[in-house]
A and B are shown apart, each in its own frame.
Chain A
């Protein structure tokens, strides 16, 4: 992916550069999620390595999305969910009641199953998160919008109609816009919840290639039930089944030498 051919003032470099290395690696210990009597996540323990694509693999309904939503506290929206355990990022437990949730969520960009562009223009979609951060400088906003639209390869396609409604884009373009919008707030980790499930094969490929590109700067947690996608992208794999982690490790370990029957069955069905 080409970097922007624009000269950026010194003052804006800091705010546009993703924070890399050191802080983000995420660690989950003894995480349990209950919804009434239903035990959705059972004693989850895992580590997400930095600047890698970690794939959460497993059949539908195994708790992958819930696990992802725990990581940016979107579980708070569902009163019926009871979350216990710890999720630490840079030494801080984000499940703590004192966590600054909007700030946490800006560190954890979310890309959902289907694109949800905000009901505003293409430009405003990308500028949205920065405006929430308090950035008002129009020049800085314009730089950031262009930089991130270029980062996801959308700039050339939309530069003539930045003020058009985001919903006028094709669904594949919308998903890239949502990624650009998430990247604009400088997240450390990108949580991608089956981000290609609503896309055509060409758009899916573009998103997959983008992930390979941006993992240099971001830690990516990718939820998928598509085995082939996991094989194509994963640096680290976590296989879940019925709310439990069955196996985790490198793709080589898991896909070549599956130890559990559940994973072996899943691999056979997936191929």
Chain B
């Protein structure tokens, strides 16, 4: 009996290590695979010109990814500008001020928003946001079809809100009530207590929630692709169309692969996306580490 239990114990331990190793190795395998596929292009063209050139003419062998990188960055930053304040204020209200009934109503609403397929957000974007943005552009005297960075940013923000909001709620719920009571007992108003204890004490958690939100936004494909216009140029204003990296891959992979190097170029785009998301995660990890030390 004792022997059997020891064997079972060892086996279970091994399975856990195998599962963990799979998770650890997976990004590495994907990264190496993409690199091997992108290698022919990298042998032909310098990395610098691939990243910084704006010339995109696959049939002429011109592969400049700057418009796509710029498109992704613009849409993501814009969505972050909308998401961050909304999520922060909503999470503070839900965890610190609202009634239990409201919290009970909000949780399923957030879950439904998080669970909606991104194509639905895309359709909603085309029907509501695109015409709205066209109207706003006209108001400012700019001609825009509405398929633009701004539309992409708004749709992406709405998609990221439940994700970031859920994380912030988790973070704020970890604040012990005794800490808030301590602040209030020293004469703080409720808002001062929230500012000094809930927000300031949770910088690492807030940064982490925003970081994961941005990384998710950067890689989001379908909904953005449906409303952003997909025009290969570096956007000059929020009303200009853009072409983010994930849209490039999704729109073209499997087609036009007869063009030499096109396959490699799309794999390079995927590799670039992976590296940028890795970089975003590392940057936010560094920020968290720094704020924790303070």
Q: Which residues of B contact A216 (CB under 8 A)?
A: none
Interface string of B163-200 (1 = CB under 8 A from A): 00000000000001111111111111100100011001
- The chain B residue with its CB closest to the CB of A107 is B187
Asked whether, in the complex, the Cβ of B197 is within 8 Å of the Cβ of A119, the reply is yes
Asked whether, in the complex, the Cβ of A132 is within 8 Å of the Cβ of B187, the reply is yes
In the complex, A109 has a CB within 8 A of chain B: yes
In the complex, A106 Cα to B201 Cα: how many Å? 22
Give the interface of B toward A (CB within 8 A): 99, 176-189, 192, 196-197, 200-201
CB < 8 Å neighbour of B186 from A74, A77, A128: A128
Asked whether, in the complex, the Cβ of A108 is within 8 Å of the Cβ of B179, the reply is no
Q: Which residues of A contact B176 (CB under 8 A)?
A: 116
Nearest 3 pairs of A and B residues by beta carbon: A119-B201, A110-B185, A106-B187
In the complex, A259 Cα to B99 Cα: how many Å? 45
| Chain A: interface size category | 20 to 34
Q: Which residues of B contact A74 (CB under 8 A)?
A: 181, 184-185
Asked whether, in the complex, the Cβ of B185 is within 8 Å of the Cβ of A118, the reply is no
Q: Which residues of A contact B197 (CB under 8 A)?
A: 118-119
CB < 8 Å neighbour of B182 from A77, A102, A118: A118
Asked whether, in the complex, the Cβ of B186 is within 8 Å of the Cβ of A106, the reply is yes
Stretch from A139-147, A177-185, A237-245 that touches the partner? A177-185
In the complex, A79 has a CB within 8 A of chain B: yes
CB < 8 Å neighbour of A118 from B99, B177, B179, B189: B179
CB < 8 Å neighbour of A116 from B99, B182, B192: B182
Give the interface of A toward B (CB within 8 A): 72, 74, 77, 79, 102-103, 105-106, 108-110, 112-114, 116, 118-120, 128-129, 132-133, 178, 181-182, 185
CB < 8 Å neighbour of A181 from B180, B181, B186: B186
Asked whether, in the complex, the Cβ of B185 is within 8 Å of the Cβ of A182, the reply is yes
Q: Name B's interface SS.
A: helix
- The chain A residue with its CB closest to the CB of B185 is A110
Asked whether, in the complex, the Cβ of A103 is within 8 Å of the Cβ of B187, the reply is yes
Asked whether, in the complex, the Cβ of A182 is within 8 Å of the Cβ of B178, the reply is no
Nearest-neighbour CB distance to chain B for A64, whole angstroms, equals: 16
Q: Which residues of A contact B201 (CB under 8 A)?
A: 118-119
* A112 and B200 contact, Cβ closer than 8 Å, known pairs A102-B187, A133-B187, A185-B186: no
Central interface residue in B177, B182, B183, B188, by most chain A CB within 10 Å: B182
Nearest-neighbour CB distance to chain B for A19, whole angstroms, equals: 15
Asked whether, in the complex, the Cβ of A110 is within 8 Å of the Cβ of B182, the reply is yes
Central interface residue in B176, B178, B185, B197, by most chain A CB within 10 Å: B185
Asked whether, in the complex, the Cβ of A132 is within 8 Å of the Cβ of B182, the reply is no
Q: Which residues of B contact A178 (CB under 8 A)?
A: 182
Can you pick out 13 interface pairs between chain A and chain B where the beta carbons lie within 8 Å of each other?
Answer: A74-B185, A103-B187, A108-B185, A110-B181, A110-B182, A110-B185, A116-B179, A118-B201, A119-B200, A132-B187, A133-B187, A182-B185, A182-B186
In the complex, A191 Cα to B184 Cα: how many Å? 14
CB < 8 Å neighbour of B192 from A108, A132, A182: A132
Q: Which residues of B contact A116 (CB under 8 A)?
A: 176, 178-179, 181-182
- The chain B residue with its CB closest to the CB of A79 is B99
Central interface residue in B181, B184, B187, B189, by most chain A CB within 10 Å: B187
Asked whether, in the complex, the Cβ of B200 is within 8 Å of the Cβ of A77, the reply is no
- The chain B residue with its CB closest to the CB of A112 is B178
Asked whether, in the complex, the Cβ of A114 is within 8 Å of the Cβ of B178, the reply is yes
Q: Which residues of B contact A112 (CB under 8 A)?
A: 178, 181-182
Nearest-neighbour CB distance to chain B for A135, whole angstroms, equals: 11
In the complex, A244 Cα to B144 Cα: how many Å? 73
